[in-house]
Structure 1
Amino acid sequence: MAHVVGVLALHGVVPVDLSIPCAVFDRVPGANGAPFYEVRVCGEAPEVRARPFGLRVPYGLDALVSVDTLVVPGIEDPTTPVAPVVVTAIRQAWAAGARIASICSGAFVLAATGLLDGRRATTHWLAAGDLAGRYPAIDVDPNALFVDEGRIITSAGASAGLDMCLHLVRRDLGQAAAAHAARLAVAPLDRDGGQTQFIRHEPPRTSASLAPVLEWMLKNVARPLSVAAMATHAGMSERTFARRFQEQTGTTPMRWFLSARIRRSQELLESDGASVDQVALASGFASPVTFRSSFRKLTGISPTAYRARFNAERRPAHDKPFDAKNG
């Protein structure tokens, strides 16, 4: 049975926010090659008004009670009161056990339901102050790309919404499936929720772009690279390299490199029969103890638990060519 993802379409929905979960979840294969997710766009009316156009949606609010994951895209005007029927439908989905996520100003919709009270959450940095002012019971983090609180996940702008959707695929199916979804979206799988929203994106083929050195770092995760070695490979001083790295990725070189190592270890745990200690060594960790500690800190579970959850038998057939009919 497919994992049903409901995407909520409210009047004034931001079209790009609506399209992101549809595009990401619609093409992820499960272990048998069939689509793992079923995406249902659910509107507060049969025809929903978006600023550039109108949308005719196939499902109503009553369908939300049967979804496994509910994604709430942003709305153009977050000060617009949320209709009581929408609030009720979201609360019913929550009571039925749904995981609920928001993109950008969709956090204001969730805030109106009270489900974010007492929780940490984020939204686009331009709207974070307004969210915190209107809903003081929410611990608003204006810096994070996305905040995972278990069954409640909130994200910043559109690109952060993409990061969050890929994160949810990783939670459900593992690193390999998330990497496959990222390739289909032509998106990098290298940003976690702890990275900052304040990222300056350089044009991809300029001398200032760090893409070549990032690729080199990924190919050398098993080596004990220092920031000095990274800077030398990039042809920069350490100070310039660290500054540009922060600007372009939103994090430090060593934190990014640590995340890359953990992602490599996830791939090995999903597909390789090596012991956890061997995986640690192949991922660049000199000490298995350090590996276990770092892995748990970044993923929330131990390497052994991760392997049990995402073993080879459950791994989706992500390397098969994409078939437009079967996903």
Structure 2
Amino acid sequence: MPGIDGFPPPTPRTARACAYAPAMHTVAVLALDQVIPFDLSAPVDTFGWARLPDGRELYDVRVCSVAAEVSAAGGAFTVRAPYGLETLAEADTIVLPGAADPAAPLPPEVAEALRAAAAAGTRIASVCVGAFVLAATGLLDGLRATTHWAAADALAERHPEVTVDANVLYVDNGQFLTSAGAAAALDMCLHMIRKDHGSQVAGHAARMSVMPLEREGGQAQFIVHELPPAPAGATLEPLLRWLEANCDRDLALEEIAARAGMSTRTLNRRFREQTGTTPSRWLHRARVRRAQHLLETTPYPVERIAAQTGFGSPTAFRERFRRVVGTSPRAYRQSFQAADQVRPRSH
């Protein structure tokens, strides 16, 4: 029979172990103006689910801000912050949700408080475009970080001292952590809970959040892998359309060059100039795009999709697909296939 919050009732042995419970860990979630609601609620809920087997809480989660109230992104409601900025100095972990305008100037008092907390050894984590807040303090300089894939280029351009990796769900540098889109905040928070209190507590928090403790793949599977475009009016534009339409064929570089009416050497140079990549890489990306579409919209087996996308063999298809998308064709299909395309089980 389940006990408190889904844990089994404590036995005398677990009760004795819980008598030596760790000290309460304070998590400060900083709500800046125009805070993104899900970014704010994800760490509040996930840390809130962390319990010892006897039901005792492990984290004291406090929402704090510069002002008593801040607007949520979109203006649908306001967020009342019970705690002020001084909470950052008292916290063991600080979480920075994203805001609607990630490029908005960071209030000097916030930057100063975050740097002071970091100097004291406080763990600081960002959610989605909250990485812009953390990067603005200079604390990510020289480190690897992530953010939502759609904002990754902007983060890299705004903060060139930060190595931005748009292909992962979160990055743990020890004291500083960053997560990708808002849902990746759950992955990052579960990771921190597991580091703090072990897999049993983290697993329980994952179940209560209806999340796997670890997700396969990374952020790359959610990225729309656009083909490198040619500039408007570029001479290669007709060739690119032909390549996309014929990507199921085994196309040698010589055949592509003949189609374009140029030598292979000239073709490679023009491709670099107009798309920033090689014909081979462009063609592989086109094949992966078509494979994604087939996985999402058809029940075809991997062998058939490999043949229809020009990969030659299922093994080559799986290897290239994982390299580009970050997960397997099967896992991608499970995540993105429309419900009406799922084959009924045989009885």
User: Which range, TM-score by smaller chain?
Assistant: 0.5 to 0.7
The equivalent position to 1:27 in structure 2, one of 26, 49, 63, is 49
Q: Which residue of 1 aligns with 2:178?
A: 154
Alignment check: 8 A CA contact 2:221 2:327 kept: no
Query: Measured at CA, do residues 160 and 197 of structure 1 come closer, stay the same or move farther in structure 2, by a change above 3 Å?
Result: farther
Q: Give the equivalent residue in structure 1 for 2:220.
A: 197
Of 26-35 and 15-24, the range deviating more from structure 2: 26-35
User: Is 2:180–2:219's contact at 8 Å kept on the other side of the alignment?
Assistant: no
Report the TM-score, using the length of structure 1 for normalisation.
0.62
Equivalent residue number for residue 14 of structure 1: 36
Q: Residue 40 of structure 1: which of 62, 71, 92 is its match?
A: 62
- In 2, Cα distance between the equivalents of 1:82 and 1:48? 15
Greater relative CO (CA pairs within 8 A, separation 6+) = 1
Query: Could you list the per-position Cα deviations for residues 249-277 of structure 1 after superposition, in whole angstroms to 9, with x for gaps in the alignment?
Result: 9424899xxxxxxxxxxxxxxxxxxxxxx
User: 1:145-184, aligned counterparts within 5 Å?
Assistant: 145-184=169-208
How many Å separate the matches in 2 of 1:28 and 1:2?
A: 11
Partner residue in 1 for 2:327: 251
Cα drift, residue 162 of structure 1: 1.1
Distance in structure 1 (CA, Å) of the matches to 2:199 and 2:66:
34
What is the identity percentage for the equivalent residue pairs of Structure 1 and Structure 2?
Answer: 52
Q: Deviations over 1:33-60 (max 9, x none)?
A: 3101110001121011113211111001
* Cα distance in structure 2, aligned partners of 1:68 and 1:31: 22
**CA distance change for structure 1 residues 11 and 253 in 2, over 3 Å: closer, same or farther?**
same
Q: What is the CA-CA distance between 1:197 and the residue it aligns to?
A: 3.3
Q: What is the Cα deviation at residue 89 of structure 1?
A: 1.3
Q: 1:244 to 1:180 in 2, by over 3 A?
A: farther
- Give the residue type in structure 2 aligned to 1:125: W
2:151 is aligned with 1:140: no
Deviations 1:163-194 (A, max 9, x none): 111111111111222111111111122327x7
CA distance in 1, matches of 2:204, 2:297: 29
| Structure 2: unaligned runs, 5 residues or longer | 1-22, 225-291, 304-312, 332-347
Secondary structure of 1:198's match? helix
RMSD of aligned alpha carbons = 3.3
Mapped partners of 1:245, 1:184: distance in 2 = 32
Contact 1:7 1:42 in 2 (8 A): yes
Q: Which has the larger radius of gyration?
A: 2
Confirm or deny: 8 A CA contact 2:167 2:326 kept in the other structure: no
Give the TM-score, by structure 2 length: 0.59
Residue matched to 2:146: 122
1:250-308: CA deviation from partner (whole Å, max 9, x where unpaired): 424899xxxxxxxxxxxxxxxxxxxxxxxxxxxxxxxxxxxxxxxxxxxxxxxxxxxxx
Counterpart-to-counterpart distance in 1, 2:89 and 2:132: 20
Find the partner of 1:98 among 122, 132, 141: 122
DSSP-derived class of the 2:113 partner: helix
Q: Distance in 1 between matches of 2:88 and 2:35?
A: 17
Asked whether the 8 Å contact 2:149–2:219 carries over to 1, the reply is: no
1:185 equivalent among 198, 201, 209: 209
1:106-117 alignment, distance < 5 Å: 106-117=130-141
Q: Verify the 8 A CA contact 1:66 1:96 in the aligned structure 2.
A: no
CA contact under 8 A between 1:122 and 1:146: conserved in structure 2?
yes
